[in-house]
Structure 1
Amino acid sequence: MADISVAVPRKGRPLEAVLERLATHTGTTDLADEVISTLRYEKAVTKGQQAADRSVYDRLAAYSEGNAEYTLCRDGREGFPRRIVFDSVTWRLDDHEVRLIGREEPFRALRKHEFALGFDSADLVLEEVVGLAPTPLRDIADVNDRIDPLDTDVRVVTGLGDTVYHTLLATPAVADGDLDRSFVEEYVGPVCISPRYERLVEAVVGTDALDGIEFCYPSEGVEEEAAIAEAGLGVYVTVTGSTARDHGLVLGEPLFPSETVLLENESESRPVDERLKQVLEPVETELAVR
Structure 2
Amino acid sequence: MAWLTAGEGYEITLEDGRVVARRAGGRQLKSLPKALRDDPEVDRLRRLSEWLDRHTASCLAQVDTWMVSSLPVPTELIARVWPDEAWQSALRDMAVVGDDPDEVGFLRDVSADGELRLVDLDGETVRIAPRTVTLPHPVLLPDLEDVRDFAAELGITQRVEQIHRATWTRADDAHRKEATEVRDYAGGKFASRFGLAARATSLGYRVSGGYATCKVRDGGRVGEASVWIGEPYWEGESETGGLSWHDEDGRAIRLTEVGPVAWSEGMRMAAALYAGRTIEEGGNA
TM-score range, shorter chain: under 0.3
Normalised to the residue count of structure 1, the TM-score between the two structures is 0.23
**RCO comparison, higher one (Cα < 8 Å, 6+):** 1
Larger radius of gyration between Structure 1 and Structure 2: 2
